[in-house]
Each structure stands twice: as C-alpha cells, then as structure tokens.
Structure 1
Amino acid sequence: MAASTHTVTNQAPPLTGYDVFGADRALVEAVDRHTLPEALEEVRAELSALGRTCGSAQVQEWAVQANENPPRLRTHDRYGNRIDEVDFHPAWHRLLGKGVSAGLTAAWGRPAGHVRRAAAFLVWSQVEAGNGCPLSMTHAAVPALRAEPELAAEWEPRLTSTVYDRELRPARHKAGVLFGMAMTEKQGGSDVRANTTVARPLAEPGAYELTGHKWFCSAPMSDGFLVLAQAAEGPTCFLVPRVLPDDSRNTFRLQRLKDKLGNRSNASSEVEFDGTWARRVGEEGRGVRTIIEMVAATRLDCVLGSAALMRQAVAQAVHHCAHRSAFGGKLIDKPLMRNVLADLAIESEAATALALRLAAAYDDGGERERAFLRLAVPAAKYWVTKRCAPLVVEAAECLGGNGYVEESGLPRLVRESPLNSIWEGAGNVQALDVVRALGREPGALDACLVEIGRARGADHRLDGAIKNLLTELADLESVEGRARRLAERLALVLQGSLLVRYAPPSVADAFCASRLGGDWGAAFGTLPHTLDLTTVTDRARPVM
C-alpha cells in the first residue's frame, strides 16, 4: 500500500553536478572585466575547475558533515598533560585542504591574483562558509607581516602555499601554514585600545612575552596568530607561533569554544596568554596601524562571503521555482514570484559586481586605487553584509516549508547570513570608518567620486542619487548620527554606477528604478511591474 501511495512528484532535483562559477553569469562577466586578456584563459579554466568541484555531490556532502559534526576542544591528553587542541571531523580537513590547494591563500604576487582569488572565495564559500575564516585570515596576514621584512621573508612563502598541513609542529618543518587572529577582549570589543593584554620585552631582540586574555580567537588550530597587546609605547602587533622553534608548545590556553548561531564547523575560542612567547610586528605603539592591513583584507572577504551566501540562496530559490509547479504552472512563471526572484537576483548581482571591483583595486595597487579602497571597503562591508540576512530569509521562503527543513540547506545559509555584518567590525564600526576616511583622507572621496562619475549621464535616477550623495557630503556637521545613511548611499551609488556600465539593461534598469529611484517597497518582491523581470530572473538561473 505504501509503495502505491507514496509517489514523489513535483519536487525540484538537488542542485548538484554543475559548475558553480560558470553558472553565475554576473561573476563570470566580472572576472572577464577585471582580468588582463593574456591571463583570462588560465583564470577561467582554474575557476571552472573549482566551480565543478563545488557543484559536486561529494563536496556538498562534506559540507553537511562538517556542520553536523562541529569541532571539539581537548584541553588535556589522557595522561593529564595540557595540549589545547581542537578536533575536527575529517570532512572539515578535506574542505580546508581543497580551499588551500585552490589558491585561496595565494593571491599575493600572482597575475590577477586578487580577482581570481576573490572569485574563487565567492565560489568556494557557497559550499561551506566555515572554513572561509582560516583561509581569509591566512591570506590577510601577509600585508601585516610585511611591516617586519624579516618575519615576512620567513612566513610568507608558507602562508601563500597551496599545501595544507594540519599537523602542529614548528613552521620550518611545514610546506604550508595557516594563521588566525586574536584582537578582541572582554572589556574592549571593537575598542582595541582598551585591551589589557600586556607585552614584556625579552632579552632577544624583537621577542616579548604576553600575559592576558582574548575573548575571540579565530581558528585556534592555526600555526600562528596576529595579536594586539599593550607594550611600553602602546598597542603593538605581535606574531604568536603555536609551536616554538625547539618543538615545544607555546603557552596558548584554550578556555572554551564559542557556541555560535552559525558558522558551526569553524572553531572560535577564548584564549589565555601566560608568559606566551611572541615576536613584535612593526613598531611599538603602532599595532593598530600595522594590523589594519589585515583587517581591511578580511573586511573585503566579509563582502565576498556575503555575496557568496546571496548567490547560493538566489540559485537555490530560482532552481526550486523553475521546477516546482503550483496553481497551474511553474512558480518561476507566476508574476509575483518572478518579482521576488528578480529582486533577489538584482541584490545578488550588485553585491558581486562591487566585491570584484574592490578585488581589482587590490590588483592595481596604485595610489588612487588604494585611496578608493580606503572608503569603498567599509561602505561595501556595511551595506552588502547588511543586505545578506533579509535576502537569504526571503530566498528560503521561496521554497515554502521545504526551505525551513535542514535537508534543503537553506537553514544553514540563514544561520550564516548575519555573520559577516558582525565580524571584523559591526555596522556602526564600518559606518564610522566611512566618516573617518572622509575626514582624514580627502583622496579617498575623490577616488570614489571618479569611479562613480564614470556612469554619469547614463541613467537619470543614478544622476539624481549622485546629486543627493553630494548634498549629504557637503554637510559633515554632526555626521556621526547619520553615518549609516551616508555609508548606505555611497554603497548604493557605487553599485548603481557599476551596473549601469556593465550589467544588461534589464538588471541596471531594475536596480536604478528600485534602489535609486525610490519605487521600491520595504520587502523584496516590490519591483515596478513594468520592468523586464523575466530576463533578470533567467539570468540568475543556475544552468546544470
């Protein structure tokens, strides 16, 4: 009886067996746009290979396993010796190994290195966002370490390696290493100048011992960590190796692992330093300036990570609606559902376009592009990460009850979606950083206005938004109270300028009409009905 009544019909097939990169038209076009012609064939081949890996059923199963089996802290071995280790499921190591081998820590010094790495990070994060944390911090540690050339020469070849070595042993014995970061303390939070961890110089030049605590230490299984501590001259950056050159373990006491809303496969910990050996990075008292290069790079990865979650949520929603029938037809053909899907797709494409533009600025490395990054990164980090959570929740709703069931994968995306807006400085920190850049670095605003101005005259709604932004910028009195509004408007105008120049007319028109023209409701799915929403939705559909 069960066999005759339990016939499964009208269900979307799993979104597997496809090229995650190649199926994302907005990402492919951004990579083409920002890659030199002589390197494009190689970059495309590399990203498509990774995209097929990400789209495979095997890798997606590893992601499920890593999340269902979170890391476990082992403070002591069976004999009572303090070891402070973190055990991960084998699937975690398989995923992290794939990420390292794909070059997600190896952007520096490669042709189109940051664009190809950003695209790869965006693709890879759609599979499992948890291992993005150690990959991101290992990548971002490179510019900070360059403040101390001797340390950079020692560590950079291993940080940029494509070899994953999970064993804890001295770095000189390893072909590749991972880095973490420990800045935040209980009493200070984002106010790192309030940190109380103390650094005392040792006899060896550049060596110190650290005493204190860190409330958040990311990726505690790593080989080394960048840490802020108070030296005689003020907050200073230090490199803390996990294992010392004589093969002994550095004092690195893991107190507990954080029980987080999402990001379950990744370990975040509290750590105590008690005579912990460290090397100074940069000058005493200049720690914030030294480590800010790392923070800027990880903030870009927050933008990329949110763009990845958006893209995967949109892909799942469009895929489901293209296969699911209701009320006499496919869901994707229903006018109201098409409006929702198109609205989600526009948000996702705008995030992707802005994220890859930031990566291209890193590849350029010129003075104007560095100035552009100084203002555009915090604005993008503020806005793109803020848009992620409502988009992912709306995408889950497109699947109906199925989207609330763990097996669909959407609940994992929902839990992950607020993360990037909180880590590496929450919304207020980013908005205030925008204000700080405007006040201290006028070249940053000039660079952003040049970028925005390249689309001037192409769309009247964009022109109006630029005019409104300039009005906001003309009055910086009491700006702190409206810093969020300013960051939002700057990010939207940057996105609008990029889409007007590079996206299909249907996408640019819909973005300008809604985000810049004011004809948009508070919820997704309120685009003007006169727009070409079918073309927008078809563009977002992942082709298997």
Structure 2
Amino acid sequence: MAATTHTVTNQAPPLVGHDVFTSDRVLVEALERHLDPGLLPEAREELSTLGLAAGSAPAQEWGALANEYPPKLRTHDRYGHRIDEVEFHPAWHRLLGHAVGAGLTNAWGRPGGHLRRAAGFLVWTQVEAGHGCPLSMTHAAVPALRVDPELAAEWEPRLTSQVYEQGLRPAAEKAGVLFGMGMTEKQGGSDVRANTTRARRLDAEGEYLLTGHKWFCSAPMSDGFLVLAQAPGGLTCFLVPRVLPDGSRNVFAIQRLKDKLGNRSNASSEVEFDGTWARRVGEEGRGVRTIIEMVAATRLDCVLGSAAQMRQALTQAVHHAAYRSAFGGPLIDKPLMRNVLADLALESEAATTLGMRLAAAADSVQSTGSDAERAFLRLAVPAAKYWVTKRCTPMVAEALECLGGNGYVEESGMPRLLREAPLNSIWEGSGNVQALDVLRALQSEPEALNALLQEVGRARGADHRLDRAIKDLLTELADLDGIEARARRVVERMALVLQGSLLVRFAPPEVADAFCGSRLGRDWGTAFGTLPHSLDLAKVVERARVAV
C-alpha cells in the first residue's frame, strides 16, 4: 500500500550544500562596503570556506544533535568526589571547535577584525545558536582584561587562539581557552549593584577569596570566568579560573543547570562560591566600569545573533515558497505571500546592515581610536540591541507560518529557531535596561547624540519619509517631560531612523523605498505582509533567495 499511496510530491528539497556567506548578498555587500579593499580577498576566502561548512549536511546535523541531546550535570564521580562537570554531546564540541578554528573568538589585534568576525558569527551561528554564548563571552573578555596589562598578557593569547581544547586543565597547559561570566544574582538580576557575593583580600596583591552565588553563570565548563563581587572598596570585577595553576579544582559548585525555553544546547547554571580563589581585574569599586567594554561587545553579539536567526528564518521561508505550489502555482509568485516574504526580507536586511555598521565602527575605534565612532557606538549599540532583538521573535514566528504545518514540526528546525528567538532580547540586559541605558547616554554624553545624528544625517534629503522621521525623533528628544515612560518609543524610532538611513544610502532602491514606506511611514501595519502593493516586491524577495 505504501508503495502506491505514499508518493512524495510538492515538497521543497533540503536546503543543504550551499555557501551561507556568498548566498547572502546583504552580508557580502556590507563586508565589501566597510572592509579595507586590501583585506577583502582573504576575508572572502575564509568566509566562503566557513559558509560552505555552515551550509553542509554534517554541520546542520551537529546543530540538531546538540539540541536533541542537551548537556548533563555531573556533580560527583562514582566514588562520591565532587567534580562539578557538564557533559556535552560530541556535536557541541564539533560546533565549538569549528567556530574557534574560524577565529570567532578573535576580533582583537588584526586589521578588520571586528568586521570579519561579525560576518563569520552571522554565518556560523545560523547552524546553531547555543554555542554562540561561549564564543561571545570569550571574545568579549579581552577588553575587560586589558584593564590589567599583566592579566591581559597572560590570558589574551589563549582567548584569541584558534585552537579549541575541551576538558578542565590548568590554563597554562592549554593552547586555547574559553571564558564565561557570572554577573547576576537571585535578588538583583540586572541590578548588579545589589549583588551580595563577597570578596575577601588575601595577603598576595590582587588575590581574593569569593563567597556567594550566581543565579546565571553561562558555559560553566569554561576555563575562566569574569564575575562581580563586593570587595572592601565596593563592587569589583574578578577573574575566577576553573582549575588552579597547581592542577587542583577551584571551588566552583554547580548547583543545577537551567531548564530553558530555548538555547538548549548551552549549559546555563547556578553556581556557589565558598572560598573560591580569584584575581582582581581593575580597581576595587570599579567593577561596572571594568566590565562595561565586555558588555558592549556581548550586546553587539546579541544584535549579530538575532540578525543571523532572522536570516536563517527568511532563508527557510523563501526556499519553501519557491518550491511549494498551491492554488495553481508556486507560493513565491502569489501576491500576498510575496508581500509577507518581502517584509521579512526587509527586516533581515535592516538587521544585518546595522549589525555590520556597528562592527565597522568597532574596527575604527580599535585601529584609529576614533572618538566619533566611539560616541556613535555608545548610543547605537543599546538602541540596536533593543530593536533588532525585539523584532527577531515575531519575524521568526511569521517565517515559520510561511511553511504552514511543516514549519510547526520539529524536523523542520523552525520550532528550535522560534524557541531561540527571544533570548538575545533578554541576555545582556532586557528591553527596559537597554532603553534606560540610551537615556543615560543622552543625559550625560551629548557627543553620543551628535555622533548618531551625524550618521543619520548623511542620508538627509534622499527620502522625504526618512527626513520626517528624523524630525519627529528630534521632537521626541526635545521633550524631556516623562521621557522615561516614553523611552521604548524613543529608542524604537532611533533604531528605525538609523536603519532607514543606512538602507537609503546603501541598499537597492526597491529595498530602501519599501523600508521607508513601511517602517517610517504613518500607517505601518502591526503584522508582516502589509507593505504597499505598488512597491517592487518581487525584486526584494529575489534578493533574499538562496539558490540550491
């Protein structure tokens, strides 16, 4: 019976065997726009190699397995000794090993490093998002450690290494290491100044013993952690190694792993410190200032990670619609489906374009010390983090719906993507935290607003809707009465104006026209697929399509 009735027709072929980098026109164009031309040939080659790996069937299987078999906590060995180890499926280690080998923990100290890493992060985390957490924290630990030149000299070569070595051993015995962090506690959450973990000084300079807990400690099998604790001089940053130089285990009791909505492959834990040895990073009482560069880097990765998820969701939706026929023809040719797909494509392009512009600014700060770009990042990063991560979840949900019932089935990969989508909006400060951070910058750092206005002003006069949106934003900012209650609206408009400015300057006319006509227009619909029908939506969709 099966042989005669179970003929499979009208199904999209698997989306495998393609180059995730070169098939993404928006990403390629952004790299070419911002990267030094002399670096482009090498960058294209390394990213295409990574893109081919990301689009391969083995890599996609690694991503599925890492989530199907999540990490397991082993608190004790068979003899009753406390070991506090987390076991991962081999696929997790393959994902991490490939990412580290591709340089995704190293943007520091190489020309165009932030742009090249950002593009690689966008490509590779489309395979699986969970292992992006230790990659991001390892990368972001470098600027925090540079506060202490001695610590930086010891740890930076290991953090930026392209060698992945799993297992707990003294860091001096490993060619490459990974870092995690422990900031939040039960009673404080984002309010880290409410932390109660205590640090007691030892006789040796810079050495302390920590006692307390961390409510969220990500990637607990990392080699080291940056944590905040209350020292005699106030809230201070510390480096906590998992293994001490003599080979003994530091006191690092993993109480449990979090049972999360998504991000299942990544171990997020609760840990206890009880006489845990630590090394101070920076001065006592300046923990937030010490860690702020790390926070800025991980917030940028939130933007990039959400852009990657958006791109993956869009790719799956367009691919399905190109091969699926209904009501007499391919779905991709149906006017209403085309409207939905074009709207999704706009959201994805705006996110990628903005993320890469931020990476370019980070490169400028690193290479030239540009005060203007540093000021631009001060506002643009929290605004982008707020908006791009907020838009990820509804976009992924809409892309899933494009696949119909097939998208709701776990085998499609879309449910995993949907469960993952809200994370970046929460990690490194939720929406309110980002909005309040923007307000702080507006109030205390006027050069940041000047830098952002100069950026969006480069497109002034090119589109009347953008010009009007900039004027409306300035009106909002001029009225400080009750601005905290309006902060989300202000930050949303700030991010949209920034995205609109970039697309007007750099995207094809049909993309910029559709973005400004919808996101900056007066009648933007709340659902995807409400673009003005008079726009050239076919070109917008075709630009997003991956050929296999």
TM range (shorter): over 0.9
Looking at structure 1, the residues matched to 437 and 456 of structure 2 have their Cα atoms a distance apart, in angstroms, of 20
Paired with 1:357 and 1:272, the residues of 2 have a C-alpha distance of 40
Q: Which amino acid aligns with 2:504?
A: V
Amino acid corresponding to residue 511 of structure 1 in structure 2: F
| Residue 227, structure 1, aligned to residue 227, structure 2 | yes
The question of whether the paired residues in 2 share the 8 Å contact of 1:251 and 1:275 is answered with yes
Matching residue within 450, 453, 457 for 2:454: 450
Counterpart pick for 1:413 among 414, 417, 431: 417
Could you tell me which amino acid in structure 1 is paired with residue 228 of structure 2?
L
Contact 1:520 1:528 in 2 (8 A): no
Structure 1 residue 115 corresponds to structure 2 residue 115: yes
Per the alignment, residue 264 of structure 2 pairs with: 264
Partner residue, 2:383 = 379
- How far apart, CA to CA, are the structure 1 residues paired with 2:190 and 2:110? 33
Cα distance, 1:518 vs structure 2:
2.2
Cα distance, 1:474 vs structure 2: 1.0
Shift of 1:191: 0.3
- 1:23 matched to 2:23? The reply is yes
Task: Tell me the amino acid that sits aligned with residue 39 of structure 1.
Answer: L
**1:477 matched residue in structure 2:** 481
Letter of the 1:469 partner, please give it: L
Deviation at 1:116, TM superposition (A): 0.6
Task: Indicate the residue corresponding to 1:185 in structure 2.
Answer: 185
Q: Structure 2: which 5+ runs fail to align?
A: none
Deviations 1:291-347 (A, max 9, x none): 111111000000000000000000000000000000000000000000000000000
Who is 1:65 aligned against? 65
Give the whole-Å Cα distance in 2 for the aligned partners of 1:2 and 1:80.
Answer: 54
The residue that corresponds to 1:302 in the other structure is 302
The 8 Å contact of residues 358 and 377 in structure 1, kept in 2 or not, is answered as: yes
Contact kept? 1:519, 1:528, Cα under 8 Å: no
Structure 1 CA distance, aligned partners of 2:458 and 2:283?
A: 40
Deviations 1:10-33 (A, max 9, x none): 000011000001111111100101
SS of residue paired to 1:156: helix
What is the alpha-carbon distance in structure 1 between the residues aligned to residue 412 and residue 191 of structure 2?
39
1: CA distance, partners of 2:139 / 2:278: 20
Report whether the alignment pairs 1:429 with 2:425: no
SS in 2 for 1:200: strand
Structure 1 window deviating more from structure 2 (469-478 vs 111-120): it is: 469-478
Q: Distance in 2 between matches of 1:198 and 1:2?
A: 67
Specify the alignment match of 2:505 in structure 1.
501
Q: Which residue in 2 is equivalent to 1:75?
A: 75
Is the Cα–Cα contact under 8 Å of residues 519 and 527 in structure 1 kept in the other structure? no
What does residue range 121-520 of structure 1 map to in structure 2 within 5 Å? 121-365=121-365, 366-520=370-524
Alignment-derived partner of residue 6 in structure 2: 6
- Counterpart amino acid of 1:328? G
The 1-side partners of 2:319 and 2:50 are apart by: 21
Identity within the alignment, % = 79
Determine the C-alpha separation between the residues in 2 that align with 1:361 and 1:384.
18
CA contact (8 A) 1:213 1:273 kept: yes
1:151 is matched by which residue type in structure 2? L
Which amino acid letter does the alignment assign opposite residue 336 of structure 1? Answer: L
The code of the aligned residue for 1:250 comes to N
Letter in 1 for 2:39: A
C-alpha distance in 2, partners of 1:520/1:474? 24
SS across alignment from 1:437: helix
Alpha-carbon separation, structure 2, partners of 1:149 and 1:491:
36
Cα distance between partner residues in 1 of 2:378 and 2:525: 32
Q: Secondary structure at the match of 1:480?
A: coil
Q: What is the CA deviation profile of residues 261-292 of structure 1, one whole-angstrom value per residue up to 9, with x for unaligned ones?
A: 00000000000000000000000000011011
Alignment of structure 1 residues 69-108 onto 2, 5 Å? 69-108=69-108
Deviations 1:47-101 (A, max 9, x none): 1110000000011001111000000000001110001000000000000000100
The list of structure 1 runs, each at least 4 consecutive aligned residues, that deviate by more than 4 angstroms after superposition, is none
Residue 391 of structure 2 aligns to which amino acid in structure 1? R
Counterpart of 1:377, as a letter, is V
Distance 1:264 1:2 in 2: 36
Determine the structure 2 residue equivalent to 1:47. 47
SS in structure 1 of the partner of residue 519 of structure 2: helix
- SS at structure 1 position matched to 2:29: helix
Q: Aligned residues, how many?
A: 544
User: TM-score, structure 1 length as denominator?
Assistant: 1.00
- Aligned with 1:209: secondary structure? strand
CA contact (8 A) 1:354 1:498 kept: yes
User: 1:257, 1:268 within 8 Å by CA — same for their partners in 2?
Assistant: yes
Question: Counterpart of 1:356 in structure 2: which amino acid?
Answer: M
Q: Is the 8 A contact 1:21 1:123 kept in 2?
A: yes
Matched letter for residue 454 of structure 2: V
CA deviation after TM superposition for structure 1 residue 520, in Å? 2.2
Q: CA deviation at 1:4?
A: 1.1
User: What is the distance in 1 between the residues matched to 2:434 and 2:188?
Assistant: 17
> Aligned equivalents of 1:346 and 1:356: distance in 2?
15
Report the secondary structure of 1:461's partner residue.
helix
How far apart in 1 are the matches of 2:265 and 2:443? 40
1:421-445 per-residue CA deviation (whole Å, 9 max, x = no partner) reads 0110000000000000001111100
1:216 and 1:406 map into 2 onto residues whose CA distance is: 28
The CA deviation string for residues 142-181 of structure 1, in whole angstroms up to 9 with x for no partner, is 0000011100000000000000000211111110000000
The secondary structure found in structure 2 opposite 1:279 is: strand
Q: Distance in 2 between matches of 1:191 and 1:519?
A: 38
- In 2, distance between residues paired with 1:298 and 1:519? 34
Task: Measure the CA separation in 1 of the matches of 2:2 and 2:199.
Answer: 70
Tell me how far 1:220 sits from its aligned partner. 0.3
Q: What is the alpha-carbon distance in structure 2 between the residues aligned to residue 323 and residue 264 of structure 1?
A: 31
* Correspondence for 1:533 among 520, 526, 537: 537
